[in-house]
Structure 1
Amino acid sequence: MSSEITQQQRANFKKLAQSPLTTIARRATTKNGIHNASFNQDIVNANVPTFSIDLNTGKVANQKQSGRCWMFAALNTMRHDIKDLLHLDSDFQLSQSYTFFWDKFEKANYFYENVLNTANDPLDSRKVSFLMATPQQDGGQWDMIVALIEKYGVVPQSVYPESSASSASREFNTTFNTLLRHDAVILRELVTHQATQSDIDHTREDMLAHIYRVLSITFGEPPVTFDFAYRDTEKQFKVERGLTPQTYFEKFVGWDLSEYVSIINAPTSDKPYNATYNVDMLGNVVGGRQVKHLNVPIETMKSFAITQLKAGKSVWFGVDMGPQVDRTNGLMADGIFATDDLFQVHSDMTKAQRLAYGDSLMTHAMVLTGVDLDENDQPIKWQVENSWGEKAGKNGYFTMSDDWMSEYAYQVVVKKEYLGSELVAIYDNTTPTLLAPWDPMGALA
């Protein structure tokens, strides 16, 4: 049954919108915008950026006009260790452009794999439509950066610096996705016409050769071997010669990446806690580490992060960076913009409802570098190293209130040793539930 808006209803609505409070709110909002008109200074005052645990991690990086936050966050956690190991100044960075190159290359192959796996499905099926909507993008997940590093290693930014396209990737992505869709047409037609596996493999290899050339032209040729020269904070010159990206990682990072696992908080009825989950068609390296999440209650997720911070190690984590974020003050705090009060409405939902109804999902990855604990060792607020440069927040750092973390944080990456034997056994030994490609836990940071 349809129900159109009548002229009488419009007249009634107009009358209701003429109250004195509405008039004041309208004047403030039309002049200043929604966020400025609803700004709550009390929330700022309650979240002073001082922390009982505060790791010294140096200057923040800047992903610029690209969606590489997941790479920046992961490489930042690693550069913290390199900086301390070698006594480097705070400007030192690992090359985000290097991992970006190989991510684009591997995502092309991963796309071809999914195209062939769905080649007998109709083009208008939900899965194929999802695949063709975005053949690849800048975003990613923790397990995806691990897959890249395990295969390609890492290099200092001085060895493989930023390019125009790595710092501003929209133009490249538009061009690249058109090329990938063109290749999808050919691959699907080969399957339709029952081409031999040899013909399909040959065509795919030829496509990958073209992809590599495009990437090499756009980002520059990635190094195979290199020398690493630097001066430490005592101005002592040092050099390591004949390194490869893999030996550089082994020597200067040295992490056992299999020990770092993704912990999520997804409080929806379809994802029981203390269970693991994969996401269909989510990944980058065919044959490499696949995305795998362990779902736990939010307080459990926080406790793991606190334990790792207490051990002096920063924490990769993922959030929805859209709601209740004040970039100027560098504050992520529920209620910083009191829009419901401004408009005299109720828009509150539970975290589960926001996920289920498409109002929230993970959109950004950053690094936890501190936490403020109360007398009962419970978190009050958190220190966050962002990757938006030093002009955002307080020299690039943000303060996150604990209630905001409860509502909008979805993921942390911690070492297995902080989970306890029961959860480690679940992560290692249980078969993950496969989620649909469009599940919110498949969102890319």
Structure 2
Amino acid sequence: MSLEITQHQIAEFKKSAQSLTTDIARRATTKNGIHNASFNQSVANSNTPIFSIDLNTGKVANQKQSGRCWMFAALNTMRHDITSLFHLSDEFQLSQSYTFFWDKFEKANYFYQNVLDTAKEPLDSRKVSFLMTTPQQDGGQWDMIVALIEKYGVVPQSVYPESAASSASREFNTTFNTLLRHDAVSLRELVAQHATEEMINARREEMLAHVYRVLSITFGEPPVNFDFEYRDTDNQFKVDRGLTPQSYFDKFVGWQLSDYVSIINAPTADKPFNATYNVDMLGNVVGGREVKHLNVTIEKMKALAIAQLKDGKSVWFGVDMGPQVDRTDGIMAAGIFATDDLFQVDTTMTKAQRLDYGESLMTHAMVLTGVDLDETGKPTKWQVENSWGEKAGKKGYFTMSDDWMSEYAYQIVVNKSYLSGELVDIYNNTTPKLLAPWDPMGALA
């Protein structure tokens, strides 16, 4: 049944919008905008940046005009250990441009693989349409950065610094996706023509040579061997010569990456807790580590994060950074913008409903560097290291209320040692349920 809006209805709606409170709200909003007009100072006052557990992690980084938050968050957690162990200054950073280069290279090959795997499906199939809408992008997930590091290692930023395109990636992505779609046409035509596997592989290798040349010209040639010179916080000169990216990771980071696992909180009916999940067509390195999530309750996810923070280790985590975030003051708190009160409407939804109805998904990755616990040990607010530079928040750090975390945090990464034996067994020994490519748990931060 269709329902046309009538002029009589409009007249009634107009009457209902006439009142003193509505007029006050209208004047405030038209002059100041929705967020300024609905800003809730009492919520801001209850989220002061003071924490009972507060790791000293130094200056924040700046991803600038790029979507590399997942890389920045991962490399920042590693940087925290490096600066502590080797007494490096707060200015030290691992090269986000280096992992960016190899991510773009590997994502091209991953795209080609998905094109070939779906080559016999029609162009208007949902999978093919999904692929061609965005052949690749800047975003990623924890297991994807692990796949890159396991294959290519890491280097200090001084060895492979930022380029124009790594700091502002839109122009590059537009150019690169055009190349990948062009290559998709060729690969699908070869399959349609019943080309041999040898012919397809030869064409694919030619495409990858083009991809490498484009990346090398855009970002610079990545190092194979290098020397690392630095002065520690005591101003002592140090040098390590003849390093490779892999040997640098082994010496200066030294993590057993297989011990770090992705924990998610997705309270939807299709994803029971205490089970594992992966996502179709999600990844970057063909043959590398696959994305794998262990779904738990939000209470368990918080407890795991707290346990790792108590041991002095920061925590990679992923959130929906859109709703109820004051970017200027660095506050992530439910109710910081009382828009329902302003408009006299009710937009309340559960976390599961927001996921199921496309209202929310993971859009950003950052680092947990502190938490405030009450007298019973329960968290009240969390300290967050962002990667938007020092002008956002309090010198780049944000305060996240615990109720905001419950509603909009979806993923953390912790060492397996903090999991119970039962959860370790589930993670290690159960076959993950395969989710559709467009599932919200496949969103790229």
2:361 alignment counterpart: 361
2:144 is matched with: 144
Equivalences for residues 254-333 of structure 1 within 5 A:
254-333=254-333
Partner Cα separation in structure 1 for residue 259 and residue 405 of structure 2: 24
Structure 1 residues 155-207: Cα deviation after superposition (integer angstroms, max 9, x where no partner): 00000000000000000000000100000000000000000000000000000
Please give the residue correspondences for 1:194-273 in structure 2 after superposition, counting only pairs within 5 Å: 194-273=194-273
Using the TM superposition, give the Cα deviation of residue 414 of structure 1 relative to its aligned residue in structure 2, in angstroms.
0.2
Structure 1 residue identity aligned to 2:188: R
Aligned counterpart, 1:184: 184
Letter in 2 for 1:443: A
Give the Å deviation of 1:15. 1.0
3-state SS of the aligned residue for 2:35? helix
Separation in 1 of the partners of 2:137 and 2:47?
35
The count of residues paired between Structure 1 and Structure 2 equals 445
SS of equivalent residue, structure 1 residue 438: coil
Match of 1:392 in 2: 392
Aligned-pair distance for 1:19? 1.2
**SS, match of residue 384 in structure 1:** strand
- Residue 444 of structure 1 corresponds to 444
Q: Which amino acid aligns with 1:122?
A: P
Measure the CA separation in 2 of the matches of 1:86 and 1:46: 37
In the other structure, the counterpart of 1:109 is 109
In structure 1, what is the Cα distance between the partners aligned to 2:289 and 2:88?
31
Report what 1:339 is aligned to: 339
Q: Which amino acid aligns with 1:318?
A: G
TM-score, scaled relative to structure 2: 1.00
Matched, 1:423 2:428: no
Q: Which amino acid aligns with 2:350?
A: T
**What is the distance in 2 between the residues matched to 1:194 and 1:111?**
20
Gaps of 5+ in 1: none
| Whole-angstrom distance in 1 between the partners of 2:19 and 2:373 | 45
Equivalent residue of 1:383, what SS?
strand
**Aligned residue runs from structure 1 range 55-74, under 5 A:** 55-74=55-74
Post-superposition offset of 1:68: 0.1
Shift of 1:85: 1.1
Residue 91, structure 1, aligned to residue 91, structure 2: yes
Alignment of 1:130-169 (within 5 A): 130-169=130-169
What amino acid is aligned across from residue 30 of structure 1 in structure 2?
T
Please give the alpha-carbon distance, in whole angstroms, between the structure 1 residues aligned to 2:86 and 2:275: 40
Structure-1-length-normalised TM-score:
1.00
For residues 146 and 174 of structure 2, what CA distance do their matches in structure 1 show? 26
Structure 2: how far apart are the matches of 1:11 and 1:46?
A: 42
Identical aligned residues as a percent: 83
Distance (whole Å) between structure 1 residues aligned to residue 234 and residue 257 of structure 2: 31
Query: Residue in 2 aligned with 1:29?
Result: 29
* Shift of residue 78, structure 1, vs aligned partner: 0.2
Residue deviations 1:379-417, cap 9 Å, x none?
010000000000000000000000000000000000001
The structure 1 segments of at least 4 consecutive aligned residues displaced by more than 3 Å after TM superposition are none
Residue in 2 that maps onto 1:383: 383
Distance 2:424 2:157 in 1: 35
Cα distance in 2 for residues equivalent to 1:369 and 1:2 = 53
Deviation by residue 1:88-113 (Cα, 9 ceiling, x = unmatched): 11010000000000000000000000
Amino acid at match of 1:232: D
Which whole-Å CA distance do the structure 2 matches of 1:327 and 1:126 have between them? 36
1:331 is aligned with what amino acid? I
How far apart in 2 are the matches of 1:86 and 1:422? Answer: 36
